[in-house]
Structure 1
Amino acid sequence: MPSKPPLKALQAFDALGRTGSIALAALDLGVTPGAVSQQLRKLEDALQATLVHHDGRGLRLTPLGTRYHARIREGFAAFDEAGAILGDAADDIIVLSCLTTVLGKWIGRRMRDWTDLDAHARIALVGADEEPDLSRGEADMRIYYGGRIHPPHRVELFTDHVVPACAPALIEGHRLSGPEDVLGFPLLHIAWNPRFTAGPGWQDWGRLVGRHPPSGDVTYGLSGSAIDAAIAGQGFVLAQTAFIGPELESGRLVIPYDLRLPLPEPYHLAWNPTSLEKPGARAFHRWLLGEGRAQGLLAAPAR
Protein backbone atom coordinates (compact mmCIF):
# COMPACT_ATOMS: atom_id res chain seq x y z
CA MET A 1 0.00 0.00 0.00
CA PRO A 2 1.45 3.44 -0.91
CA SER A 3 2.92 5.45 1.98
CA LYS A 4 3.51 9.14 2.52
CA PRO A 5 6.53 10.20 0.42
CA PRO A 6 9.50 11.92 2.13
CA LEU A 7 9.81 15.67 1.52
CA LYS A 8 13.38 15.36 0.20
CA ALA A 9 12.22 12.79 -2.34
CA LEU A 10 9.45 15.13 -3.51
CA GLN A 11 11.98 17.98 -3.79
CA ALA A 12 14.26 15.82 -5.93
CA PHE A 13 11.36 14.78 -8.15
CA ASP A 14 10.21 18.39 -8.51
CA ALA A 15 13.73 19.50 -9.44
CA LEU A 16 13.95 16.78 -12.12
CA GLY A 17 10.59 17.83 -13.53
CA ARG A 18 11.60 21.50 -13.62
CA THR A 19 15.12 21.08 -15.02
CA GLY A 20 14.71 18.01 -17.22
CA SER A 21 17.88 16.18 -16.16
CA ILE A 22 19.51 14.54 -13.17
CA ALA A 23 22.61 16.73 -13.46
CA LEU A 24 20.65 19.99 -13.52
CA ALA A 25 18.38 18.79 -10.72
CA ALA A 26 21.45 18.01 -8.60
CA LEU A 27 22.88 21.47 -9.36
CA ASP A 28 19.59 23.08 -8.45
CA LEU A 29 19.45 21.28 -5.10
CA GLY A 30 23.18 21.51 -4.33
CA VAL A 31 23.62 17.73 -4.07
CA THR A 32 25.19 14.98 -6.18
CA PRO A 33 23.37 13.28 -9.09
CA GLY A 34 23.57 10.03 -7.13
CA ALA A 35 21.70 11.61 -4.23
CA VAL A 36 18.94 12.75 -6.60
CA SER A 37 18.64 9.24 -8.07
CA GLN A 38 18.45 7.75 -4.58
CA GLN A 39 15.63 10.12 -3.60
CA LEU A 40 13.73 9.29 -6.79
CA ARG A 41 13.91 5.58 -5.94
CA LYS A 42 12.61 6.33 -2.45
CA LEU A 43 9.71 8.26 -3.92
CA GLU A 44 8.74 5.46 -6.31
CA ASP A 45 9.04 2.90 -3.51
CA ALA A 46 6.81 5.00 -1.23
CA LEU A 47 4.17 5.58 -3.91
CA GLN A 48 4.52 2.15 -5.54
CA ALA A 49 4.42 3.85 -8.93
CA THR A 50 6.80 4.34 -11.87
CA LEU A 51 7.37 8.07 -12.26
CA VAL A 52 10.65 8.16 -14.24
CA HIS A 53 12.28 6.05 -16.95
CA HIS A 54 15.49 5.91 -19.02
CA ASP A 55 14.97 6.99 -22.62
CA GLY A 56 18.56 6.48 -23.82
CA ARG A 57 19.61 10.05 -23.05
CA GLY A 58 18.83 10.11 -19.35
CA LEU A 59 15.95 10.01 -16.91
CA ARG A 60 12.62 11.37 -18.08
CA LEU A 61 9.19 11.56 -16.49
CA THR A 62 6.66 8.91 -17.43
CA PRO A 63 3.16 10.09 -18.44
CA LEU A 64 2.03 9.32 -14.87
CA GLY A 65 5.09 11.16 -13.57
CA THR A 66 4.26 14.19 -15.68
CA ARG A 67 0.74 14.38 -14.25
CA TYR A 68 2.00 13.82 -10.72
CA HIS A 69 4.66 16.50 -11.14
CA ALA A 70 2.03 19.04 -12.21
CA ARG A 71 0.26 18.58 -8.88
CA ILE A 72 3.51 18.53 -6.88
CA ARG A 73 4.56 21.79 -8.57
CA GLU A 74 1.32 23.40 -7.38
CA GLY A 75 2.20 22.46 -3.83
CA PHE A 76 5.75 23.81 -4.00
CA ALA A 77 4.46 26.96 -5.69
CA ALA A 78 2.10 27.42 -2.73
CA PHE A 79 5.08 27.02 -0.37
CA ASP A 80 6.99 29.65 -2.35
CA GLU A 81 3.98 31.97 -2.26
CA ALA A 82 3.57 31.52 1.47
CA GLY A 83 7.29 32.08 2.02
CA ALA A 84 7.19 35.28 0.01
CA ILE A 85 4.25 36.51 2.04
CA LEU A 86 5.83 35.65 5.36
CA GLY A 87 9.13 37.10 4.25
CA ASP A 88 7.53 40.45 3.59
CA ALA A 89 8.74 42.92 6.16
CA ALA A 90 5.38 44.67 6.35
CA ASP A 91 3.69 43.89 9.65
CA ASP A 92 0.21 44.86 8.51
CA ILE A 93 -0.47 42.06 6.01
CA ILE A 94 -3.26 39.75 7.25
CA VAL A 95 -2.56 36.21 6.03
CA LEU A 96 -5.64 34.02 5.64
CA SER A 97 -4.91 30.34 5.00
CA CYS A 98 -7.56 28.02 3.55
CA LEU A 99 -7.92 24.64 1.97
CA THR A 100 -7.22 24.97 -1.76
CA THR A 101 -10.81 24.43 -2.90
CA VAL A 102 -12.23 26.62 -0.13
CA LEU A 103 -10.01 29.43 -1.38
CA GLY A 104 -10.73 28.93 -5.07
CA LYS A 105 -14.43 28.10 -4.90
CA TRP A 106 -15.68 29.99 -1.85
CA ILE A 107 -13.92 32.75 0.07
CA GLY A 108 -11.73 33.88 -2.81
CA ARG A 109 -14.85 34.60 -4.84
CA ARG A 110 -16.24 36.81 -2.06
CA MET A 111 -13.22 39.03 -1.50
CA ARG A 112 -14.58 41.79 -3.71
CA ASP A 113 -17.35 42.25 -1.13
CA TRP A 114 -14.68 42.73 1.53
CA THR A 115 -12.58 45.17 -0.49
CA ASP A 116 -15.71 47.21 -1.16
CA LEU A 117 -16.09 47.52 2.62
CA ASP A 118 -12.45 48.13 3.51
CA ALA A 119 -9.96 48.90 0.77
CA HIS A 120 -7.16 49.74 3.22
CA ALA A 121 -6.62 46.42 5.03
CA ARG A 122 -3.96 44.32 3.30
CA ILE A 123 -5.07 40.69 2.91
CA ALA A 124 -2.99 37.81 1.57
CA LEU A 125 -4.81 34.55 0.70
CA VAL A 126 -2.86 31.28 0.78
CA GLY A 127 -4.30 27.98 -0.42
CA ALA A 128 -2.68 25.12 1.52
CA ASP A 129 -3.96 21.70 2.53
CA GLU A 130 -1.45 21.42 5.39
CA GLU A 131 -2.59 23.12 8.58
CA PRO A 132 -0.36 26.10 9.47
CA ASP A 133 0.87 26.66 13.01
CA LEU A 134 -0.91 29.88 13.91
CA SER A 135 0.96 30.19 17.20
CA ARG A 136 4.24 30.45 15.26
CA GLY A 137 2.91 33.07 12.86
CA GLU A 138 2.66 30.78 9.82
CA ALA A 139 -0.69 32.48 9.14
CA ASP A 140 -2.95 34.90 10.98
CA MET A 141 -6.23 33.10 10.34
CA ARG A 142 -7.22 29.72 8.95
CA ILE A 143 -10.47 28.39 7.50
CA TYR A 144 -10.37 24.64 8.02
CA TYR A 145 -12.69 21.66 7.80
CA GLY A 146 -13.33 19.21 10.62
CA GLY A 147 -10.11 18.41 12.37
CA ARG A 148 -8.96 16.01 15.05
CA ILE A 149 -6.94 18.71 16.85
CA HIS A 150 -8.52 22.15 17.04
CA PRO A 151 -6.62 25.41 17.64
CA PRO A 152 -7.56 27.05 20.94
CA HIS A 153 -8.96 30.20 19.32
CA ARG A 154 -11.65 29.13 16.88
CA VAL A 155 -15.33 29.38 16.08
CA GLU A 156 -17.61 27.29 13.91
CA LEU A 157 -18.43 28.96 10.59
CA PHE A 158 -21.03 26.69 8.96
CA THR A 159 -21.92 23.12 8.07
CA ASP A 160 -22.13 22.66 4.33
CA HIS A 161 -24.38 20.28 2.40
CA VAL A 162 -23.85 18.43 -0.87
CA VAL A 163 -26.40 18.36 -3.67
CA PRO A 164 -26.38 16.69 -7.13
CA ALA A 165 -25.56 19.24 -9.84
CA CYS A 166 -24.78 19.02 -13.53
CA ALA A 167 -24.41 21.10 -16.67
CA PRO A 168 -27.79 21.77 -18.34
CA ALA A 169 -26.62 20.11 -21.54
CA LEU A 170 -26.13 16.79 -19.74
CA ILE A 171 -29.85 16.33 -19.13
CA GLU A 172 -31.14 18.23 -22.15
CA GLY A 173 -33.58 16.05 -24.06
CA HIS A 174 -33.99 13.61 -21.15
CA ARG A 175 -37.28 13.33 -19.28
CA LEU A 176 -36.48 12.85 -15.62
CA SER A 177 -39.33 11.19 -13.80
CA GLY A 178 -37.77 11.31 -10.33
CA PRO A 179 -34.53 11.88 -8.42
CA GLU A 180 -33.50 8.25 -8.88
CA ASP A 181 -33.02 9.00 -12.60
CA VAL A 182 -29.95 11.05 -11.69
CA LEU A 183 -28.15 7.78 -10.99
CA GLY A 184 -28.52 6.77 -14.63
CA PHE A 185 -26.09 9.48 -15.73
CA PRO A 186 -22.28 9.46 -15.35
CA LEU A 187 -21.43 10.11 -11.71
CA LEU A 188 -18.34 12.06 -10.63
CA HIS A 189 -16.86 10.88 -7.34
CA ILE A 190 -14.60 12.74 -4.88
CA ALA A 191 -11.83 10.98 -2.94
CA TRP A 192 -11.56 12.77 0.39
CA ASN A 193 -8.21 13.23 2.09
CA PRO A 194 -7.86 10.39 4.63
CA ARG A 195 -7.27 12.85 7.47
CA PHE A 196 -10.82 14.16 7.06
CA THR A 197 -14.11 12.47 7.78
CA ALA A 198 -15.35 11.81 4.26
CA GLY A 199 -18.38 13.69 3.03
CA PRO A 200 -21.47 11.96 1.66
CA GLY A 201 -20.96 10.04 -1.58
CA TRP A 202 -23.23 8.63 -4.25
CA GLN A 203 -23.90 5.52 -2.16
CA ASP A 204 -25.35 7.78 0.56
CA TRP A 205 -27.41 9.76 -1.91
CA GLY A 206 -28.61 6.52 -3.50
CA ARG A 207 -29.93 5.38 -0.12
CA LEU A 208 -31.71 8.72 0.18
CA VAL A 209 -33.65 8.10 -3.07
CA GLY A 210 -33.99 4.33 -2.61
CA ARG A 211 -31.73 3.14 -5.42
CA HIS A 212 -28.23 1.65 -5.50
CA PRO A 213 -25.92 3.70 -7.75
CA PRO A 214 -23.72 1.97 -10.32
CA SER A 215 -19.95 1.84 -9.87
CA GLY A 216 -17.06 2.48 -12.21
CA ASP A 217 -17.32 6.21 -12.84
CA VAL A 218 -14.53 8.82 -12.51
CA THR A 219 -13.02 9.85 -9.15
CA TYR A 220 -11.32 13.17 -8.47
CA GLY A 221 -8.89 14.07 -5.69
CA LEU A 222 -10.25 17.59 -5.27
CA SER A 223 -13.89 18.56 -5.07
CA GLY A 224 -13.09 21.65 -7.13
CA SER A 225 -11.83 19.45 -9.97
CA ALA A 226 -15.01 17.34 -9.85
CA ILE A 227 -17.12 20.49 -10.01
CA ASP A 228 -15.14 21.75 -13.01
CA ALA A 229 -15.72 18.40 -14.72
CA ALA A 230 -19.45 18.70 -14.08
CA ILE A 231 -19.44 22.20 -15.59
CA ALA A 232 -17.78 20.67 -18.65
CA GLY A 233 -20.69 18.24 -18.98
CA GLN A 234 -18.86 15.13 -17.78
CA GLY A 235 -21.52 14.01 -15.31
CA PHE A 236 -23.32 14.73 -12.06
CA VAL A 237 -21.30 15.83 -9.04
CA LEU A 238 -22.33 15.87 -5.39
CA ALA A 239 -21.20 19.45 -4.96
CA GLN A 240 -20.89 21.43 -1.78
CA THR A 241 -23.37 24.30 -1.95
CA ALA A 242 -20.67 26.78 -0.89
CA PHE A 243 -18.67 25.98 -4.01
CA ILE A 244 -21.27 26.35 -6.76
CA GLY A 245 -23.17 29.57 -6.08
CA PRO A 246 -21.91 31.55 -9.11
CA GLU A 247 -22.34 28.53 -11.40
CA LEU A 248 -25.97 28.17 -10.37
CA GLU A 249 -26.60 31.90 -10.81
CA SER A 250 -25.07 31.89 -14.30
CA GLY A 251 -26.83 28.67 -15.33
CA ARG A 252 -23.61 26.73 -15.92
CA LEU A 253 -24.84 24.22 -13.35
CA VAL A 254 -28.37 23.17 -12.45
CA ILE A 255 -29.88 21.10 -9.63
CA PRO A 256 -32.73 18.98 -11.04
CA TYR A 257 -33.64 17.61 -7.59
CA ASP A 258 -32.63 19.59 -4.54
CA LEU A 259 -32.07 16.74 -2.11
CA ARG A 260 -29.19 17.67 0.20
CA LEU A 261 -26.99 15.74 2.57
CA PRO A 262 -24.94 17.45 5.31
CA LEU A 263 -21.20 17.11 5.67
CA PRO A 264 -20.31 15.18 8.83
CA GLU A 265 -18.26 18.07 10.24
CA PRO A 266 -18.41 21.87 10.03
CA TYR A 267 -15.94 24.44 8.74
CA HIS A 268 -14.17 26.53 11.37
CA LEU A 269 -12.30 29.81 11.52
CA ALA A 270 -9.21 29.84 13.72
CA TRP A 271 -6.93 32.77 14.46
CA ASN A 272 -3.88 33.96 16.31
CA PRO A 273 -5.08 36.51 18.95
CA THR A 274 -2.05 38.75 18.46
CA SER A 275 -2.83 38.95 14.74
CA LEU A 276 -6.07 40.75 15.53
CA GLU A 277 -3.97 43.81 16.40
CA LYS A 278 -3.03 44.26 12.74
CA PRO A 279 -4.82 47.14 10.97
CA GLY A 280 -8.24 45.96 9.81
CA ALA A 281 -7.85 42.45 11.26
CA ARG A 282 -10.77 42.65 13.70
CA ALA A 283 -13.08 43.97 11.00
CA PHE A 284 -11.91 41.25 8.61
CA HIS A 285 -12.47 38.65 11.33
CA ARG A 286 -16.05 39.88 11.86
CA TRP A 287 -16.66 39.87 8.11
CA LEU A 288 -15.51 36.25 7.82
CA LEU A 289 -17.84 35.22 10.63
CA GLY A 290 -20.72 36.96 8.88
CA GLU A 291 -19.93 35.24 5.59
CA GLY A 292 -19.89 31.91 7.41
CA ARG A 293 -23.29 32.52 8.99
CA ALA A 294 -24.74 33.55 5.64
CA GLN A 295 -23.36 30.45 3.94
CA GLY A 296 -24.81 28.26 6.66
CA LEU A 297 -28.27 29.64 5.93
CA LEU A 298 -27.82 29.08 2.20
CA ALA A 299 -26.55 25.52 2.69
CA ALA A 300 -29.37 24.31 4.91
CA PRO A 301 -32.20 22.45 3.13
CA ALA A 302 -35.40 24.41 2.60
CA ARG A 303 -38.03 23.57 5.20
Structure 2
Amino acid sequence: MKRTHLPLNALRVYDAAARHLSFTRAADELAVTPAAVGQQIRALEDHLGVVLFRRTSKGLELTEEGCAGLDALREGFLRFEESVQAMQAGQASDRYTIAVPREFYAQWLSTRLASFQAQSPQTQFHLVADENADFTEANLDVAIRLVDGPGELEGVQLAPAEKVVVAAPGGADGWIEWPGASLPDGEQATVKAGNPGQALSSAVAGMGRAILPRLLVAEAVEAGKLEILEGPDPGRRSYWLVAPLPQWRQKKVKALVAHLTA
Protein backbone atom coordinates (compact mmCIF):
# COMPACT_ATOMS: atom_id res chain seq x y z
CA MET A 1 0.00 0.00 0.00
CA LYS A 2 1.33 3.41 -0.96
CA ARG A 3 1.90 5.61 2.06
CA THR A 4 0.93 9.29 2.14
CA HIS A 5 3.89 11.65 2.24
CA LEU A 6 4.15 13.08 5.75
CA PRO A 7 5.82 16.46 6.41
CA LEU A 8 7.47 15.14 9.57
CA ASN A 9 9.58 18.21 10.34
CA ALA A 10 6.56 20.52 10.06
CA LEU A 11 4.52 18.15 12.25
CA ARG A 12 7.24 18.21 14.89
CA VAL A 13 7.19 22.03 14.85
CA TYR A 14 3.38 21.97 15.08
CA ASP A 15 3.54 19.68 18.12
CA ALA A 16 5.97 22.02 19.91
CA ALA A 17 3.94 25.13 19.06
CA ALA A 18 0.73 23.43 20.24
CA ARG A 19 2.30 22.45 23.57
CA HIS A 20 3.67 25.92 24.28
CA LEU A 21 0.98 27.96 22.46
CA SER A 22 3.89 30.19 21.51
CA PHE A 23 6.04 30.25 18.40
CA THR A 24 8.84 31.85 20.43
CA ARG A 25 8.96 29.12 23.09
CA ALA A 26 8.61 26.43 20.43
CA ALA A 27 11.57 27.99 18.62
CA ASP A 28 13.63 27.90 21.84
CA GLU A 29 12.86 24.20 22.30
CA LEU A 30 13.74 23.36 18.70
CA ALA A 31 16.78 25.67 18.53
CA VAL A 32 15.41 27.60 15.53
CA THR A 33 14.03 31.11 15.04
CA PRO A 34 10.37 32.06 15.64
CA ALA A 35 10.22 33.01 11.95
CA ALA A 36 11.24 29.47 10.99
CA VAL A 37 8.48 28.08 13.21
CA GLY A 38 5.96 30.38 11.55
CA GLN A 39 7.11 29.28 8.08
CA GLN A 40 6.76 25.60 8.97
CA ILE A 41 3.27 26.14 10.40
CA ARG A 42 2.12 28.06 7.31
CA ALA A 43 3.56 25.36 5.05
CA LEU A 44 1.74 22.67 7.05
CA GLU A 45 -1.54 24.61 6.90
CA ASP A 46 -1.13 24.92 3.12
CA HIS A 47 -0.39 21.19 2.87
CA LEU A 48 -3.43 20.22 4.97
CA GLY A 49 -5.77 22.91 3.70
CA VAL A 50 -6.79 23.97 7.22
CA VAL A 51 -5.95 26.71 9.73
CA LEU A 52 -4.25 25.31 12.83
CA PHE A 53 -3.76 28.42 14.99
CA ARG A 54 -5.51 31.73 15.52
CA ARG A 55 -4.20 34.81 17.31
CA THR A 56 -6.47 36.39 19.93
CA SER A 57 -6.12 39.16 22.48
CA LYS A 58 -5.07 36.47 24.98
CA GLY A 59 -2.41 35.00 22.72
CA LEU A 60 -2.14 32.00 20.43
CA GLU A 61 -4.98 29.45 20.34
CA LEU A 62 -5.52 26.18 18.52
CA THR A 63 -8.46 25.94 16.14
CA GLU A 64 -10.80 22.95 16.25
CA GLU A 65 -8.92 21.50 13.30
CA GLY A 66 -5.65 22.08 15.12
CA CYS A 67 -6.88 20.21 18.20
CA ALA A 68 -8.38 17.32 16.27
CA GLY A 69 -5.22 15.38 15.46
CA LEU A 70 -2.92 16.24 18.34
CA ASP A 71 -3.38 13.10 20.45
CA ALA A 72 -2.83 10.78 17.49
CA LEU A 73 0.18 12.83 16.36
CA ARG A 74 1.85 12.66 19.76
CA GLU A 75 1.17 8.95 20.01
CA GLY A 76 2.76 8.61 16.58
CA PHE A 77 5.91 10.46 17.66
CA LEU A 78 6.10 8.24 20.74
CA ARG A 79 5.91 5.17 18.49
CA PHE A 80 8.67 6.58 16.26
CA GLU A 81 10.92 7.08 19.29
CA GLU A 82 10.16 3.60 20.63
CA SER A 83 10.96 2.13 17.21
CA VAL A 84 14.32 3.90 17.07
CA GLN A 85 15.12 2.82 20.62
CA ALA A 86 14.22 -0.78 19.80
CA MET A 87 16.52 -0.73 16.77
CA GLN A 88 19.36 0.68 18.87
CA ALA A 89 18.86 -1.54 21.91
CA GLY A 90 20.84 -4.49 20.66
CA GLN A 91 24.05 -2.57 20.07
CA ALA A 92 23.75 0.03 22.81
CA SER A 93 22.53 -1.86 25.88
CA ASP A 94 25.76 -1.09 27.75
CA ARG A 95 26.38 2.39 26.34
CA TYR A 96 24.93 5.54 27.86
CA THR A 97 24.84 8.94 26.21
CA ILE A 98 24.33 11.53 28.94
CA ALA A 99 23.98 15.31 28.65
CA VAL A 100 25.14 16.97 31.86
CA PRO A 101 26.51 20.38 32.94
CA ARG A 102 30.30 20.29 33.21
CA GLU A 103 30.37 21.53 36.79
CA PHE A 104 27.77 19.04 37.97
CA TYR A 105 29.66 16.18 36.31
CA ALA A 106 32.87 17.21 38.07
CA GLN A 107 31.32 17.79 41.48
CA TRP A 108 28.72 15.03 41.74
CA LEU A 109 28.08 12.73 38.81
CA SER A 110 31.57 11.47 37.91
CA THR A 111 32.13 9.53 41.14
CA ARG A 112 28.70 7.91 40.88
CA LEU A 113 29.23 6.85 37.28
CA ALA A 114 32.56 5.39 38.34
CA SER A 115 30.88 3.26 41.01
CA PHE A 116 28.21 2.19 38.50
CA GLN A 117 30.93 1.19 36.02
CA ALA A 118 32.77 -0.73 38.72
CA GLN A 119 29.68 -2.91 39.11
CA SER A 120 29.32 -3.32 35.32
CA PRO A 121 32.81 -3.01 33.80
CA GLN A 122 31.51 -3.35 30.23
CA THR A 123 29.55 -0.08 30.55
CA GLN A 124 30.55 2.80 28.27
CA PHE A 125 29.66 6.46 28.75
CA HIS A 126 29.42 9.18 26.11
CA LEU A 127 29.13 12.58 27.78
CA VAL A 128 27.58 15.65 26.15
CA ALA A 129 28.38 19.03 27.71
CA ASP A 130 25.16 20.76 26.58
CA GLU A 131 22.51 19.60 29.04
CA ASN A 132 19.83 21.15 26.82
CA ALA A 133 20.85 19.16 23.75
CA ASP A 134 18.01 17.70 21.69
CA PHE A 135 17.40 14.07 22.70
CA THR A 136 16.87 12.88 19.15
CA GLU A 137 19.67 14.80 17.46
CA ALA A 138 22.24 13.94 20.14
CA ASN A 139 20.89 10.37 20.57
CA LEU A 140 20.66 10.91 24.33
CA ASP A 141 19.62 8.34 26.87
CA VAL A 142 19.23 10.80 29.75
CA ALA A 143 20.06 14.39 30.64
CA ILE A 144 20.69 16.16 33.92
CA ARG A 145 19.33 19.70 34.03
CA LEU A 146 19.06 22.47 36.61
CA VAL A 147 15.33 23.17 36.26
CA ASP A 148 12.16 23.63 38.29
CA GLY A 149 10.68 20.33 37.07
CA PRO A 150 10.81 17.74 34.29
CA GLY A 151 8.33 19.55 32.04
CA GLU A 152 7.17 17.30 29.19
CA LEU A 153 9.80 14.68 30.04
CA GLU A 154 9.88 11.86 32.55
CA GLY A 155 12.24 12.58 35.42
CA VAL A 156 13.41 12.22 38.99
CA GLN A 157 14.73 14.94 41.29
CA LEU A 158 18.27 14.14 42.45
CA ALA A 159 18.02 16.30 45.58
CA PRO A 160 15.60 18.80 47.14
CA ALA A 161 15.59 22.30 45.64
CA GLU A 162 17.84 24.00 48.19
CA LYS A 163 20.26 26.90 47.85
CA VAL A 164 23.08 28.10 50.07
CA VAL A 165 25.37 31.10 50.28
CA VAL A 166 28.98 29.91 50.17
CA ALA A 167 32.44 31.43 50.18
CA ALA A 168 36.00 30.23 50.51
CA PRO A 169 37.48 30.55 54.02
CA GLY A 170 39.08 33.98 54.18
CA GLY A 171 37.77 34.91 50.72
CA ALA A 172 36.65 38.31 49.45
CA ASP A 173 33.43 39.90 50.73
CA GLY A 174 31.97 40.73 47.30
CA TRP A 175 29.22 38.85 45.50
CA ILE A 176 29.39 36.50 42.54
CA GLU A 177 26.35 36.67 40.29
CA TRP A 178 25.18 34.20 37.61
CA PRO A 179 21.99 33.93 35.53
CA GLY A 180 19.25 32.38 37.65
CA ALA A 181 20.65 33.47 41.03
CA SER A 182 19.42 36.87 42.21
CA LEU A 183 21.58 38.71 44.71
CA PRO A 184 20.15 40.11 47.97
CA ASP A 185 18.50 43.52 47.63
CA GLY A 186 21.01 46.33 47.39
CA GLU A 187 24.01 44.11 46.72
CA GLN A 188 26.26 44.60 43.68
CA ALA A 189 28.18 41.86 41.93
CA THR A 190 31.97 42.06 41.84
CA VAL A 191 32.07 38.99 39.58
CA LYS A 192 29.47 38.19 36.91
CA ALA A 193 29.69 34.52 35.95
CA GLY A 194 28.01 32.96 32.93
CA ASN A 195 26.82 29.77 34.65
CA PRO A 196 26.84 27.93 38.00
CA GLY A 197 30.18 26.27 37.21
CA GLN A 198 31.97 29.60 36.75
CA ALA A 199 30.34 30.92 39.92
CA LEU A 200 31.47 27.84 41.84
CA SER A 201 35.05 28.11 40.59
CA SER A 202 35.11 31.83 41.41
CA ALA A 203 33.89 31.16 44.94
CA VAL A 204 36.46 28.39 45.51
CA ALA A 205 39.16 30.80 44.29
CA GLY A 206 38.14 33.25 47.02
CA MET A 207 36.64 35.89 44.72
CA GLY A 208 33.47 36.38 46.75
CA ARG A 209 30.22 34.88 47.96
CA ALA A 210 27.87 32.97 45.69
CA ILE A 211 24.33 31.61 45.94
CA LEU A 212 24.43 28.09 44.55
CA PRO A 213 22.45 24.80 44.65
CA ARG A 214 23.36 22.88 47.78
CA LEU A 215 23.96 19.66 45.85
CA LEU A 216 26.51 21.38 43.60
CA VAL A 217 28.66 22.67 46.47
CA ALA A 218 28.40 19.67 48.82
CA GLU A 219 31.76 18.15 47.83
CA ALA A 220 33.61 21.47 48.02
CA VAL A 221 32.11 22.17 51.45
CA GLU A 222 33.07 18.70 52.70
CA ALA A 223 36.61 19.20 51.42
CA GLY A 224 36.90 22.53 53.24
CA LYS A 225 37.21 24.55 50.03
CA LEU A 226 33.96 26.39 50.77
CA GLU A 227 31.95 27.13 53.87
CA ILE A 228 28.21 27.71 54.08
CA LEU A 229 27.44 31.23 55.28
CA GLU A 230 23.64 31.06 54.98
CA GLY A 231 21.09 28.33 54.36
CA PRO A 232 20.11 25.90 53.18
CA ASP A 233 16.96 27.71 52.07
CA PRO A 234 14.24 26.52 49.69
CA GLY A 235 15.11 27.17 46.07
CA ARG A 236 13.12 27.18 42.84
CA ARG A 237 15.38 24.95 40.74
CA SER A 238 17.17 21.71 41.42
CA TYR A 239 19.01 19.04 39.46
CA TRP A 240 16.69 16.64 37.65
CA LEU A 241 17.54 13.47 35.74
CA VAL A 242 15.19 13.52 32.74
CA ALA A 243 14.42 11.60 29.56
CA PRO A 244 11.55 11.12 27.10
CA LEU A 245 9.22 8.23 27.90
CA PRO A 246 10.76 5.73 25.42
CA GLN A 247 14.22 6.12 26.99
CA TRP A 248 12.79 6.18 30.50
CA ARG A 249 11.22 2.77 29.88
CA GLN A 250 14.53 1.16 28.92
CA LYS A 251 15.95 -1.43 31.28
CA LYS A 252 19.43 0.12 31.15
CA VAL A 253 18.08 3.59 31.99
CA LYS A 254 16.07 2.20 34.89
CA ALA A 255 19.28 0.61 36.23
CA LEU A 256 21.16 3.90 36.04
CA VAL A 257 18.31 5.85 37.62
CA ALA A 258 18.16 3.35 40.49
CA HIS A 259 21.91 3.69 41.09
CA LEU A 260 21.94 7.49 41.04
CA THR A 261 18.95 7.80 43.36
CA ALA A 262 19.91 5.02 45.78
For residues 191 and 97 of structure 1, do their structure 2 counterparts lie closer, same or farther at Cα, with a shift above 3 Å needed? same
String of CA shifts for 1:11-46, please: whole Å, max 9, x gaps: xxxxxxxxxxxxxxxxxxxxxxxxxxxxxxxxxxxx
String of CA shifts for 1:257-288, please: whole Å, max 9, x gaps: 34223221343322355546877443212112
Partners of 1:227 and 1:153 in 2: how far apart? 28
Contact 2:159 2:215 in 1 (8 A): no
Contact 1:143 1:269 in 2 (8 A): yes
CA RMSD of aligned residues (A): 3.3
Partners of 2:150 and 2:114 in 1: how far apart? 32
Alignment partner, residue 167 of structure 1: 168
Alignment partner, residue 179 of structure 2: 191
Alignment partner, residue 296 of structure 1: none
Partners of 1:152 and 1:249 in 2: how far apart? 33
Partners of 1:112 and 1:271 in 2: how far apart? 21
**Within 5 Å, which residues of 2 pair with 1:1-303?**
90-92=91-93, 93-134=95-136, 138-146=139-147, 150-170=151-171, 185-192=173-180, 199=181, 201-203=182-184, 212-255=185-228, 257-275=229-247, 280-290=252-262
TM-score w.r.t. length of structure 2: 0.56
Partners of 1:132 and 1:242 in 2: how far apart? 25
Partners of 1:91 and 1:116 in 2: how far apart? 18
More strand by share: 2
Specify the SS of the correspondent of 2:158.
Answer: strand
String of CA shifts for 1:74-117, please: whole Å, max 9, x gaps: xxxxxxxxxxxxxxx95231112123433333212432232233
Partners of 2:242 and 2:150 in 1: how far apart? 12
For residues 188 and 266 of structure 1, do their structure 2 counterparts lie closer, same or farther at Cα, with a shift above 3 Å needed? closer
Corresponding letter in the other structure for 1:246: E
- The answer for unaligned runs of 5 or more in structure 2 is 1-27, 32-89
Partners of 1:102 and 1:221 in 2: how far apart? 15
Equivalences, count: 176
Partners of 1:279 and 1:124 in 2: how far apart? 18
TM-score w.r.t. length of structure 1: 0.49
- The answer for unaligned runs of 5 or more in structure 1 is 8-88, 172-184, 193-198, 204-211, 291-303
